[in-house]
Structure 1
Amino acid sequence: MLRVVPLGGFEEVGRNMMILEYVPPGKQEADRLIIDMGLRFPEEDTPGIDFIIPNASYLKGKERTIRGIFITHGHYDHMGAIPYLAGPLRNPPIFATPLARGMILKRQEDFPHTPKLEIHTIDKRDRRPIRLGPFSVEPFHVNHNIPDSIGLAIGTPLGTVVHSCDFKFDFKPIGDEPADLQRIAEIGSRGILALLSDSTGVEHAGHSISESVIFENLDPIFREAPGRVIMSTFASLIGRQQQAFLLAEKYGRKVALEGYSMKANVEIAQGLGYLKIPKGMMMPIEDAERLDPKRTVILCTGAQGESNAALMRIANREHRVIRIREDDTMIFSSSIVPGNERSVQYLKDALARQGARIFHYKTLDIHASGHAYAEDLKLMLSLVKPKFLIPIHGQYSMLKAHAELGQSMGIPREYTAVGYNGAIIEFNRERIQVRDEQIQAQYVFVDGLGVGDVREVVLRDRQMMAQDGMFVIVAIVDRREGRVRGEPDVISRGFVYLRESGPLLAEARKRVKMLVEQSGKMKPVNWTYVRDNIREDLGKFFFQKTQRRPMVLPVIIEV
């Protein structure tokens, strides 16, 4: 029996991690492979959270059954959780292509107290399979928006399972080779039991845009820019960065990098030969303010409106060197990640007010998705010819749409399985099903040095404070008489402005004194009950008067 157990990446975009299990006949214990170990970035409903990672509690006690971890490419949503999860899983061997390996090791430098990783380099040109227990794994080259991305053909005693990785088919990529369609077709000709295929782009008709089209559209922007070109994109978009260097060379410009993650990725990619940068083209960021604007390109992070990223600091005039000028050309060469729309719009407005001319993906094709569109997904199905289809990577509606696409290509409905995080998708040579039971796969939050110590109740408290504020009332109570001494003190944060809310606060103090003195007549006094009673009473009172629900924190000090 084979099982696919997604711990993340289903019903969401990001946090990709899944387990492939093989259970031999007559045995209970499985052999396991892990594919990817990614994180997800926080959104507006997760205040104060740094990252969200998969819940690996299902693997507790099963560590010795993990044969290996395969990382399909160097994006954080596929490898960013390694520092948090590899150690607790007793450091299984990790397999990654050179660029992904370099990025993993660079990230690991930020976690000096974690155990040293056992990481092996995958040479995707070597067709010899990697054998791990009952599994034999053959990587094959695909296109994505980062070089060195691979799909996996995983041989098992029941048949071959193909994992597509995040992929697209780009026949004219920049800084990469076209996907190896011949190799994929050769794998498909052997007979494929199941295809696990990327669903993120399924709702887009046609084929995804080639990076060569992006290059053609960026060219006139660089050529006609009256001053500096400031281009912001994802730090891991190595191919797009290569285009910036090529165009800078073509039009006699030098390039300054800004953003820690971008500098690190460029250094790794250049060292491994994935980025070709002419000698003398790079310059320090200080020179970008002094050099002739017509000879300057600034390549930076922050296109998603991140508060601490380079571009936001430039827009807010907080950058230590760069100030926006009226002849600057600003290129947002990335799409907007859902949830970031407001911060990106603020960023564009701030730059426009300072005179920059702005280009983005809605005005011109200057960003291409790294994910296969509907026709690309059909091509993958035609090449692989699987018996079963398991859509992966995307919101539930995307997974469902991909299953329906597979059915339109001739795969019977009962041979498609739409899963979810925590599902157990079970199959053999004859049938496939999503079992009724599920495992724990809820979010694990990383907040500072804490991993998993922020639970839903803490997040709800943060959300409540962010929405309606906090109201603290401190009452000093005479233990013998059961009366409040003086007037209760009030602290309000994000609820009401104290100087303009005298009547409301006076009534709140009056209610607290009344509730304390009513309870003080009963001996012994249950002060926990009194605090809960004050919290409930003031909560109702404030909602009645303001239609807001602040977090009410009563403090009673006995003297």
Structure 2
Amino acid sequence: MSGGTLRVLPLGGLGEIGKNMTVVEYDDRIVVVDTGLRFPTAEQMGIDLVLPDFTYLRDRVEDIEAIVITHGHEDHLGALPWVLRELGTEDAPPVYGGPLAMAMARSKLDEHRIRDVVLEDVPDGETIEAGPFDIELIHMTHSIPDSNAVAITTDVGTVLITGDYKFDQTPVDGRPADMSRLAELGRDGVLLLCGDSTNADRPGYSPSEAGVGPHLEEVFSRCEGRIIVTSFASNIHRVQQVVDAAAALGRKVALVGRSMRKNVNIGRSLGHIELPDGILVQPREIDQFPDERIVIISTGSQGEPLSALRRMAHNDHRQVRLHAGDSVVFSATPIPGNERAVNETIDRLYHIGCDVITTADAPVHASGHGYQEELKLMLNLTRPRYVLPMHGDFKRIHLHAQLAESVGIDPDAIFQGENGLPLELDERGARWGDKVQSGMIFVDGVDIGDPADVALRDRRMLSADGIFIVVATISEQDGSSVAPPEVIFRGVPFLEQADELIEEIRGAVEDSLDAAAKDRVREVDLLQQQLHDDLAAFVYDRLKRRPMVLPVVVEV
């Protein structure tokens, strides 16, 4: 180990599942690994997407040598258009990744009309020279093709960021993880391992993706009506196995959901998926075939509000109307945090009369993340000097740390971190650096905003107790009321005594204005503040609720 200080700064992915983003910094130069997002929780009302707070990078655009994407999932790739737009596409660094990840990135950037950014396909094993960094992508197996670990080498040593992985010995595409290269890196010396912690709580080994296909065919053979399979749109190998099972049973296949159609087209163009001639039918043609001849592959396995399956469950889909006798197969498990939305969708499907099959009923899903024995295998192959568990909530990071200790890693060399806390490594060892700004940026429509945005607080207040709007018209000369106040309310939960309450509020407004006139308060801002305080107190006294109070003062 020689040279200066190497910093590894997670901006997302620690203490959470999603929005993965890691900054590797050396000699005042930067490589960014992954630009992920996550989907909003129920409390984040009206928010569309949640991005990592990348404020740290805004003033250092010229220092960024490269952005490297480990694979094409949204929690690793999805924030790329916003990151590039905010950092400025004119000075944008080149973006590297596997062919499928880069094809998905091109599609995203096209949607956002972002051009003139260099996106470069990188074959496994090829080294990219980027300033003081040598960057190598190492083939891994996951639930999407072209998944890679990233080895970043500097004068200080090699940092290995695993990305999402499992050690599947019988992957659908016949390409297992490059364990020999991982072992070579371990022999040469890995300074720091940043490892996937998603399934650190599951003992044993994860089941092979190849085992899902026969189970799907077995489940399909028992279904008499239409079959709707929902899975991640990016799980191209799963789509292939659904298609194979449908073909074996003489069924046609319809792809429903924009991302499903888009990803299957990208997968076909890159040779990751093969569809038998004539098996695909358009969603509008579904009703032209008998129920027993159709399989529909749909988005919506996580209960996403606008997804195809969610709309079907609410009888709100333009082309597919579910009915009794349909079988819905959930070929995915809920991401932590999505359980409520998934259960709600399943309940709606039962109400329609569908038969629902989940992983609790049949082994129709295999996780793309390794279980405990695979995490130990990664640790033993690479024999890192230091370990920084990533990609997991704090419980899973803690469990991953215990696994590292169990295979002989010194407890003092295992760092359980959090977003915004950099790990600094040099010839003296490893230690935490000073915390930097991190957290969340919200996407609302096409705009991105400050995580402290008061709009969220206001939305929560509106959803709880509603809003009162009071319009008071006063004399410019003496501040007295010259017309009866107007009172408008929306979403206020009471309201049998509405008429009576409005009259009382008007009286309270008049009293407040009289008091202000007596105190010679003339400034509109001060009047509105006094009206707000008086009305809020009055409404709470009457209703024991705190609706938003919005006073408007008009001078005439």
TM-score, scaled to structure 2? 0.94
Deviation at 1:497, TM superposition (A): 5.5
Query: Which runs of no fewer than 5 residues in structure 2 stay unpaired?
Result: none
Whether the aligned pair in 2 keeps the contact of 1:414 and 1:432 (CA below 8 Å) is no
Change (3 A) 1:134 1:304: same
Deviation at 1:57, TM superposition (A): 2.2
- Per mean C-alpha deviation after superposition, the further-off stretch among 262-271 and 425-434 is 425-434
Map Cα deviations across residues 38-64 of structure 1 (whole Å, 9 max, x no partner).
122222122122222222221233222
Deviation at 1:329, TM superposition (A): 0.8
Partner residue of 1:493? Answer: 490
Partner residue of 2:511? Answer: 514
Deviation at 1:486, TM superposition (A): 4.3
Question: SS at the partner of 2:311?
Answer: helix
Distance in 2 between residues matched to 1:497 and 1:489, nearest whole Å: 19
Deviation at 1:365, TM superposition (A): 2.6
Partner residue of 1:444? Answer: 441
Identity among equivalent pairs (%)? 38
Partner residue of 1:3? Answer: 7
Partner residue of 1:26? Answer: none
Question: SS at the partner of 1:109?
Answer: helix
Whether the aligned pair in 2 keeps the contact of 1:207 and 1:376 (CA below 8 Å) is yes
Change (3 A) 1:95 1:539: same
Whether the aligned pair in 1 keeps the contact of 2:94 and 2:119 (CA below 8 Å) is yes
Question: SS at the partner of 1:86?
Answer: helix
Query: Aligned letter for 2:473?
Result: I
Query: Aligned letter for 2:44?
Result: T
Question: SS at the partner of 1:321?
Answer: coil
Distance in 1 between residues matched to 2:337 and 2:467, nearest whole Å: 25
Change (3 A) 1:485 1:303: farther
Within a 5 Å distance, the mapping from 1:84-483 to structure 2 comes to 84-87=82-85, 88=87, 90-112=91-113, 114-124=114-124, 127-175=125-173, 177-435=175-433, 437-452=434-449, 455-483=452-480
Map Cα deviations across residues 190-232 of structure 1 (whole Å, 9 max, x no partner).
1111111011211222222322333233222111110111011
Whether the aligned pair in 2 keeps the contact of 1:447 and 1:454 (CA below 8 Å) is no
Query: Aligned letter for 2:421?
Result: A
Question: SS at the partner of 1:104?
Answer: helix
Distance in 2 between residues matched to 1:123 and 1:196, nearest whole Å: 22
Deviation at 1:176, TM superposition (A): 5.2
Query: Aligned letter for 1:478?
Result: S
1:14 to 11, 15, 18: 18
Query: Aligned letter for 1:548?
Result: R
Distance in 1 between residues matched to 2:48 and 2:33, nearest whole Å: 23
Distance in 1 between residues matched to 2:503 and 2:201, nearest whole Å: 57
**Does residue 1:502 correspond to 2:503, yes or no?**
no
Deviation at 1:454, TM superposition (A): 6.9
Question: SS at the partner of 1:189?
Answer: helix
Distance in 1 between residues matched to 2:333 and 2:536, nearest whole Å: 42
Partner residue of 1:82? Answer: 80
Whether the aligned pair in 2 keeps the contact of 1:93 and 1:118 (CA below 8 Å) is yes
Query: Which runs of no fewer than 5 residues in structure 1 stay unpaired?
Result: 24-29
- Per mean C-alpha deviation after superposition, the further-off stretch among 412-421 and 169-178 is 169-178
Query: Aligned letter for 2:341?
Result: S
Distance in 2 between residues matched to 1:314 and 1:219, nearest whole Å: 24
Partner residue of 1:543? Answer: 540
Distance in 2 between residues matched to 1:480 and 1:433, nearest whole Å: 68
Map Cα deviations across residues 7-29 of structure 1 (whole Å, 9 max, x no partner).
11122211111111113xxxxxx
- Per mean C-alpha deviation after superposition, the further-off stretch among 369-378 and 102-111 is 369-378
Question: SS at the partner of 1:276?
Answer: coil
**Does residue 1:70 correspond to 2:68, yes or no?**
yes
Map Cα deviations across residues 106-151 of structure 1 (whole Å, 9 max, x no partner).
1111111x34220111111xx3422222211221111111111000
Whether the aligned pair in 2 keeps the contact of 1:143 and 1:149 (CA below 8 Å) is yes
Whether the aligned pair in 1 keeps the contact of 2:164 and 2:369 (CA below 8 Å) is yes
Whether the aligned pair in 1 keeps the contact of 2:168 and 2:209 (CA below 8 Å) is yes
Distance in 1 between residues matched to 2:366 and 2:533, nearest whole Å: 52
TM-score, scaled to structure 1? 0.94
Distance in 2 between residues matched to 1:81 and 1:327, nearest whole Å: 40
Query: Aligned letter for 1:552?
Result: V
Distance in 2 between residues matched to 1:336 and 1:86, nearest whole Å: 30
Deviation at 1:347, TM superposition (A): 1.9
Distance in 1 between residues matched to 2:406 and 2:504, nearest whole Å: 67
Change (3 A) 1:261 1:279: same
Deviation at 1:386, TM superposition (A): 0.5
Question: SS at the partner of 2:191?
Answer: strand
Map Cα deviations across residues 399-452 of structure 1 (whole Å, 9 max, x no partner).
2222222122221122111221111110124421112x2111131122223222
Partner residue of 1:553? Answer: 550
Question: SS at the partner of 1:433?
Answer: strand
Distance in 2 between residues matched to 1:433 and 1:176, nearest whole Å: 41
Whether the aligned pair in 2 keeps the contact of 1:235 and 1:301 (CA below 8 Å) is yes
Deviation at 1:313, TM superposition (A): 2.1
Deviation at 1:455, TM superposition (A): 4.2
Whether the aligned pair in 1 keeps the contact of 2:521 and 2:527 (CA below 8 Å) is no
- Per mean C-alpha deviation after superposition, the further-off stretch among 384-393 and 305-314 is 305-314
Question: SS at the partner of 1:386?
Answer: coil
Distance in 1 between residues matched to 2:435 and 2:72, nearest whole Å: 29
Query: Aligned letter for 1:533?
Result: Q
